[in-house]
A and B are shown apart, each in its own frame.
Chain A
């Protein structure tokens, strides 16, 4: 993409950037140690819902920003799914222009305060930072800095509301209010469309609200972003299941000219092993929804939750880490991860694994449950485990776990959270027979335009990718908005 390269070069040649580069020798920059994120004490935080990472101070942020040498060829950007102009925002932080840094982020990222907290930076931008690639040193803390700038803007009370084009009166429906839907809605509003977001649940935000816990992503951080969208004229209808409350056809009749499906991969998978339906065994979606969406841990709310003393969580992703750490906060004496591969293959963010360990979570890696054993009245009391070893790599490139014969043994557990993945939400595909879906149940779209087999329906996020990430969902939403805008414009002109 030459445009991007040219744009980056131009920006890098700006006088203030040149001056800043000269102000400090690279040798000096590269000797600075990477900043450690200030964190709440593990003992205290594991019994409360305070946010674990407290965020960088101004001085810490400026110091960390000065490590970035503003490379001529910024490899970090190619590691970012939405190609944030990383050096530009970091250099803005270095010279104290925190609001400008936030604006730079928002050029390409609709939800920087969220992404700064939940992106797997160690696999993306930070993995392709000059420090990682060439110096074999700790990368610039791009994620911490992203969060810093975005938080600064949120706290400044000076959140910039993007300019919105004059209304073109065209109604667009968005199905689902997760990161894909929100990003799509924001961009379409900017183009001048009248956007209505339909959400099945009573809260807006998708996984950001019902899944990711408060100690990792406080709700108010998400709410600020939703407020901005409302100020841009985006309307939200909660308690509205497209395909049930009204069909796409009903909505077409009501004048909607295009739809974006960001309905996510919200269906929990189970393992179908004996005893899995015993009382006390639940999906991570159920566990986290009870606590995060329904406030089950707060006094005065009506929704109950299992407060197990010995909690086992099956899985190695972010959802498993969120569940096991929630178990501690609900008062578990013992909280254990059971994962069938080794730590190296864990899909969870590295930081979440580190935090879980600090908080006292036990890890039974290379283990897999094969059976649950219950009490007479049908409650789980034990898990039969099998030890695993790693064999040849499978299609995902990770080494395939294989059971070790005769290695089975039993551990006690009064609550088990199953967190072994999710499947696409089938509601929209089921209600639209013409919509092409893959054998996995994800919606088939053109990889460039995100248009589905039904021309007025576009789709993105987990409903297209299966369980993926916030940043990919958001990127999809933005690309789909651009191409739907193209599609509708060329249709109107033809």
Chain B
């Protein structure tokens, strides 16, 4: 059992949790993730470690409520427990001094982007971050990203905050005004697809951190497989970061839809139960 030490909402459906896991807090590096199972009936889902506090022995996870598990997580209070938490998993981000780095985060992808931005900055890079979401209330961690960025561009689809437009427009603007040596792209699949097309057009080496379906997170099942440079790779052990220009995003997007019907049903069932509980 792993104790939730503190919890705070970034927005209506984005929540940040600090969970006690001293060994993971100590071992983790930027880019690592954990698998979490909320309760005995729960599924195992991957979540990136967005930061950790070695002294307190906690890891910080930022969750957007999309499915049953993330909703259950959002309903936990400080003092509650999750049944299982294992990690740190995946390969850590390759950090070096590239020069100028463009860090692109879409939606809740800003959470896994944060530790990478921090590590890149500390390695002596000039970091320009572009963070984007549909609207103002979905922009998260802006302050924390600012702390480790030389410059931050905020984009919203509806123009309710920052500049109006898609993330790719913000990226183009930066690329046109400055020589970018490396890009990091994290966000929803479709955003990553278009963001990497943008950097490819400008010949900027890019990595994308992929968020496929996972079951065990240890290389045992292949649920997380993707095609990179024509080869099948397992995101949980070979990734989660890959050369963005080599990833078959269309295949990844279609595989992400694999359990859509069941997930939708589970979600409806859960909302129904949750509503009843609240009444």
Contacts and interface: CB of A to CB of B under 8 A. Distances in A.
A266 B266 CA distance: 29
A300 interface: yes
Contact of A244 (B69, B88, B226): B88
A176 B68 CA distance: 30
Given A202-B37, A241-B86, A244-B88, A272 B232 contact: yes
A427 to B, nearest CB: 7
A330 interface: no
Contact of B23 (A202, A245, A280, A306): A245
Interface string A198-237: 0011100000000000000000000000000000000000
Interface stretch (A68-76, A101-109, A283-291, A471-479): A283-291
Contact of B87 (A244, A295, A300): A244
Interface residues of A, number: 39
A272 B230 CA distance: 10
A427 B266 CA distance: 34
B142 interface: no
Contact of B255 (A200, A277, A302): A277
Given A246-B27, A272-B232, A289-B215, A279 B220 contact: no
B220 A277 contact: no
B87 A277 contact: no
A377 interface: yes
Given A272-B232, A279-B254, A245 B219 contact: no
A378 B23 CA distance: 40
B258 A280 contact: yes
Chain A residues touching B, majority SS = loop
A446 B232 CA distance: 34
Contact of A303 (B43, B87, B251): B43
A294 B216 CA distance: 10
Interface in A387-420: none
Interface residues of B, number: 39
B265 to A, nearest CB: 9
Q: Give the secondary structure class of B's interface.
A: mixed
Contacts of B23: 240, 245-246
A134 B262 CA distance: 57
Nearest to B41: A301
B43 A282 contact: no
Contact of A282 (B84, B88, B223, B251): B223
B253 to A, nearest CB: 8
Contacts of A200: 86, 216, 218
Given A244-B88, A294-B43, A301-B41, A282 B266 contact: no
Given A277-B255, A378-B255, A268 B220 contact: yes
A397 B89 CA distance: 40
Interface string B81-123: 0011111110000000000000000000000000000000000
Given A238-B84, A304-B259, A244 B27 contact: yes
Contacts of A360: none
B135 interface: no
A246 B22 CA distance: 11
B124 interface: no
A377 B87 contact: no
Given A279-B254, A280-B258, A268 B222 contact: yes
Given A282-B223, A304-B263, A377 B257 contact: yes
A283 B89 CA distance: 21
Contact of B27 (A245, A272, A306): A245
B43 A277 contact: no
B220 A285 contact: yes
Given A244-B27, A245-B27, A277 B251 contact: yes
A270 B254 contact: no
Nearest to A202: B84
Contacts of A425: 219-220
A280 B260 CA distance: 12
Contact of B220 (A267, A280, A306, A377): A267
Interface string A4-48: 000000000000000000000000000000000000000000000
B221 interface: yes
A276 interface: yes
A266 B219 contact: yes
Contacts of A467: none
B232 A294 contact: no
A426 B215 CA distance: 18
Given A270-B232, A295-B41, A302-B69, A239 B86 contact: yes
Contacts of A202: 37, 44, 83-84, 86
B84 A279 contact: no
A289 B257 CA distance: 20
A279 B257 contact: yes
B166 interface: no
B220 A245 contact: no
B218 A285 contact: no
A374 to B, nearest CB: 9
B218 A378 contact: no
A266 B257 contact: no
A426 B237 CA distance: 10
B27 A285 contact: no
Interface string A248-271: 000000000000000000111010
A73 to B, nearest CB: 44
Given A244-B88, A294-B43, A302-B69, A427 B215 contact: no
A302 B86 contact: no
B105 to A, nearest CB: 26
In the A-B complex, the 6 residue pairs with the smallest Cβ-Cβ separation, listed nearest first, are A378-B254, A304-B262, A286-B221, A239-B86, A302-B43, A303-B43
Given A277-B251, A290-B215, A300-B41, 5 more contacts: A282-B221, A286-B215, A286-B222, A427-B218, A427-B219
10 contacts: A200-B218, A241-B87, A270-B222, A279-B257, A285-B220, A286-B223, A301-B42, A302-B41, A304-B43, A378-B255
